[in-house]
Amino acid sequence: MLSFYFLSLITLLFKSNVVVFAGRPGIYERHPDPQGQFPRLGACPDDHACIFPADVSQFLPGAHFDLRVELHAYDKNTKSPAPDFYKDFKTTVRKENGPWIDVNEFFDIQENPTLEYWNFTWADSAEVFYADALGNGKKPIDVNVSSRVWRKLKFDEPGTYDVSVQYSSTEAYTVRYTVIEPRKPKRKAKNAILFIADGCNIGMITAARAIARKHTSGKFVDDGLLTFEDFDNLGHIITHSIDGLVTDSCNSASAYATGHKTSVGALNVYADSSPSFLDDPKVEDITEIIRRRQPGKAIGIVTTASVQDATPAAFYSHTRTRAIPDHITDQIANGVPDWVNAVEPDVLLGGGAKHFKGEKSLNGTDYYTLLQDKHNYQVVMDKQHLNEYNGQDKLLGIFRQDNMDVWLERNVYVNNTVGNEAAPDLSGTDALGSNQPGLDDMTLKALEVLKKRGGDDGFFLMSEAASVDKMVHYLDFPRAYADLIEMDMTIKKTIEWLKKNGEYEDTLILFTADHSHSFDVFGTVDQELLTSQAPSQENMRYSVGVYEHSGWPGFVNQDQYGFPDNWDPRFALAGGTGSGPDHFESWKLSADKPRMPTVQNDNKIVGSNKDDQAGSYGHGLKWNGNIPVNQIVDVHSMADVAIYSNGPGSDLFKKTIENWDLFFKMTEALDLQYPNEEDTVSDKNSINHKQQK
């Protein structure tokens, strides 16, 4: 009877999380990712503990990171309240299986960080997440969180490091990190250019080639292949996120920029469970490392999206969500607290004006004025002034209130931009497509300024064709083709510029995508036959030519510029995605505006849009959706993406790699992996006096 009493008491103590004392650090055990769709929190395999950075993270020696430990108290019986918060837990660190050292002593931190408390709800299954729609009355699990975070830490020496949190006399969770042995490049790249065609898969590349290049007897004998297809090396990149098969642009670009995987929507942080979007544990990105280790090197960021959008923001910002563009804009100038200095790119070009001033900027700040007066930027707002700029000051070019218009609206259907009232000065006048620079204009101007500013130290440039992805989302394939062809023409002009300016042999050039779509072409379509057979769904399908009847599309390129002269031929490419919403499809070009294939009803259920020109206004082929009915657009896929590489260091990219490894290979090629004097400056939050033990 006495033993039963003690057993009951111990059980009660554990259930209420009133921990009498913390036990020993846990033995390291690697946990495979669990099956299922709704984890409590990404990369948290332990029943109660989370440590960020997550298990198997890798670091450069001297690279900064934040360390967060969370303890989750919950009861899966949703009729019961959540147990009390964990209040007694200990975090320890060791190197190479050496002695465990308290985290504060290990990193020479004088005061233990404040213990934070919050709570969140965990929908642990689709039945719970969609409970309202399913009408099943299921409730999420209440979770009480206790947490500490240590800011701006670093490991100075290569090796293996374990971090463990002990939260009861018998329970602990341990993660293992690797600080890599830095590598010198075979031949250092003075410059690096990372071209990203957002969302571009092999199917899209194949389609663009079929449109943009002449062919005879099925061979591309006149124009050759696309420019980047002639690069020295070709590899594949695995794109999974930290907590799922399918990534978005935030965490995929973050993996490229930092060497760390994260979660959907997160930029250069590990997504914790706190309610704040700005306190998640950060990891240092490549541009921040350049600023510390090669401070003379110039940095440029170019995009056809808003400069606060996922991919460009991954090269200068830190936040749990991309949905706060006002804060992301602020980080251009001010960075984030308790961290390294703001990147302040030497060149930043794209859209996103509405968050630089006015009611949608942070606290109404005029960032145009701030960046001009306090940070020595020159500001341009249209194609003419961009092309005229010939200085060597930092350059900020913002050309539209939101994302920039796509190539077809900037060059062919310019009238579609009349009345958009999207001028970047927020005057209410139009940002005509013809007044917006192209990706080639922005990239070449960036190169010009970066060469002046970087000099012998070189430059790093990220240039993004953002709307390949954005147009595939809306099943607007002709506009996606055009933006990918624009990217290829930009790469062609970049190579010409590099050769002319004596930089080609010293420049690593990479072309890739951040993630994939399930897009592919399966033949051609005779649009006249398709239209004539409406409304018969069966007869319309005879317009699609497959196998020996796939033939060739009717795009014509007479001026040799690279783009077709006609964008709506009788015989067009028949393509589609395997992951989309209900819609009608006729493969017509939506000439009067970018495509909107779906609509939502009052209950947020997505259906086909009968006003969609590309779907023959409801008279095209009916395409049944296969994704959740609240998803208004096509979704990403898990497929690997190609990476084409050229120049010094390009041999590092010629096989299958994971997305996080792109960072390490870029830093090797640029000789950024070794710490320098900046990494050894005394800093109580950075310098580690115990790591030599």
User: In the numeric block, which tokens belong to residue 660?
Assistant: 């996080």
Longest CA–CA span in the chain (Å) reads 94
Confidence of residue 677 (pLDDT cuts 50, 70, 90): confident
Beta strand residue intervals within 390-437, DSSP E: 394-398
Overall average pLDDT of the 284-293 stretch:
98
What is the DSSP code string of 548-597?
A: GG---------S-SSS-S-SS-SEEEEEE-SS--SEEE------SSS---
Check pLDDT > 90 for residue 67.
Answer: yes
The CA–CA distances, whole Å, from 144 to 15, 16, 64, 321, 458 equal: 13, 12, 29, 22, 50
Overall average pLDDT of the 107-118 stretch:
96
Confidence of residue 222 (pLDDT cuts 50, 70, 90): confident
Location of structure tokens 């001297």:
62
Check pLDDT > 90 for residue 676.
Answer: no
Going by C-beta distance under 8 Å and a sequence separation of 6 or more, which residues neighbour residue 415? none
Q: What is the pLDDT at residue 6?
A: 35
What is the DSSP code string of 3-70?
A: HHHHHHHHHHHHHHT--S---PPPPP---PPPSSS--SSTT--SSSEEEESPTT-EE-TT--EEEEEE
CA atoms within 13 A on the CB side of 620: 26
* Per-residue pLDDT tens digits for 464-519: 999 999 999 999 999 999 999 999 999 999 999 999 999 999 999 999 999 999 99
What is the DSSP code string of 427-466?
A: SS----GGGSPPHHHHHHHHHHHHHHHHGGG-EEEEEEET
Q: What is the pLDDT at residue 493?
A: 98
What is the DSSP code string of 464-493?
A: EETHHHHHHHTT-HHHHHHHHHHHHHHHHH
* Per-residue pLDDT tens digits for 157-168: 999 999 999 999
Q: What is the pLDDT at residue 25?
A: 84
Q: Kind of pairing, strands 101-102 and 347-351?
A: unpaired
> Which residues are bridge partners to 233 per DSSP?
645
Buried b (16+ CB within 10 A) or exposed e, 222-249: eeeebbbbebebebbbebbbbbbebbbb
Check pLDDT > 60 for residue 4.
Answer: no
Which range has the worst mean pLDDT, 263-267, 328-332, 545-549, 676-680?
A: 676-680
Q: What is the pLDDT at residue 678?
A: 65
* Per-residue pLDDT tens digits for 663-672: 999 999 999 9
User: In the numeric block, which tokens belong to residue 228?
Assistant: 């980047």
Percent of the chain with pLDDT over 70: 94
Confidence of residue 680 (pLDDT cuts 50, 70, 90): low
Quick check: bond before 53 cis, omega within 30? Answer: yes
- Percent helix, strand, coil in the chain (nearest 5)? 30, 25, 50
Q: What is the pLDDT at residue 11?
A: 36
Q: For residues 71 and 82, give the distance between their C-alpha atoms in angstroms, rounded to a whole number.
A: 13
Q: For residues 357 and 367, give the distance between their C-alpha atoms in angstroms, rounded to a whole number.
A: 6
Q: What is the pLDDT at residue 500?
A: 98
Q: For residues 454 and 462, give the distance between their C-alpha atoms in angstroms, rounded to a whole number.
A: 15
* Per-residue pLDDT tens digits for 425-463: 999 999 999 999 999 999 999 999 999 999 999 999 999
> Which residues are bridge partners to 348 per DSSP?
301, 396
* Per-residue pLDDT tens digits for 84-107: 999 999 999 999 999 999 999 999
Beta strand residue intervals within 502-543, DSSP E: 507-512, 516-517, 520-526
User: In the numeric block, which tokens belong to residue 567?
Assistant: 């964008």
User: In the numeric block, which tokens belong to residue 8?
Assistant: 């009951």
Buried b (16+ CB within 10 A) or exposed e, 409-444: bbbbbbebbeebebbbbbeeeebbbebbbbbbbbbb
Which of these, 406, 475, 520, lies nearest to 615 by C-alpha position? 475
Q: What is the pLDDT at residue 10?
A: 35
Overall average pLDDT of the 548-561 stretch:
87
Q: For residues 298 and 314, give the distance between their C-alpha atoms in angstroms, rounded to a whole number.
A: 17
Q: What is the pLDDT at residue 12?
A: 35
Confidence of residue 14 (pLDDT cuts 50, 70, 90): very low
User: In the numeric block, which tokens belong to residue 266?
Assistant: 């997160």
* Per-residue pLDDT tens digits for 380-434: 999 999 999 999 999 999 999 999 999 999 999 999 999 999 999 999 999 999 9
Location of structure tokens 């500013």:
453
Check pLDDT > 90 for residue 593.
Answer: yes
Q: What is the pLDDT at residue 687?
A: 35
Confidence of residue 679 (pLDDT cuts 50, 70, 90): low
Q: What is the pLDDT at residue 137?
A: 95
Which letter does DSSP use for residue 285 in this model? -
Confidence of residue 264 (pLDDT cuts 50, 70, 90): very high
Going by C-beta distance under 8 Å and a sequence separation of 6 or more, which residues neighbour residue 428? 421
Check pLDDT > 90 for residue 681.
Answer: no
Q: What is the pLDDT at residue 291?
A: 98
Confidence of residue 9 (pLDDT cuts 50, 70, 90): very low
Per DSSP, the three-state class of 520 is strand
Which of these, 401, 424, 419, lies nearest to 592 by C-alpha position? 419
Instruction: Identify residue 194 by its one-letter amino acid code.
Output: L
Instruction: Tell me if 182 sits within 8 A of 289, measured CB to CB.
Output: no
Region for residue 201 given its phi and psi (left: phi exceeds 0; alpha: psi -120 to 50; beta: otherwise): beta
Q: For residues 517 and 659, give the distance between their C-alpha atoms in angstroms, rounded to a whole number.
A: 16
Which range has the worst mean pLDDT, 44-48, 221-225, 527-531?
A: 221-225
Instruction: Identify residue 128 by its one-letter amino acid code.
Output: V
Check pLDDT > 70 for residue 685.
Answer: no
Check pLDDT > 50 for residue 208.
Answer: yes
Percent of the chain with pLDDT over 90: 91
Instruction: Tell me if 214 sits within 8 A of 200, measured CB to CB.
Output: no
How much is the mean pLDDT over the chain?
93
Give the number of other Cβ atoms within 10 Å of residue 578's Cβ: 13
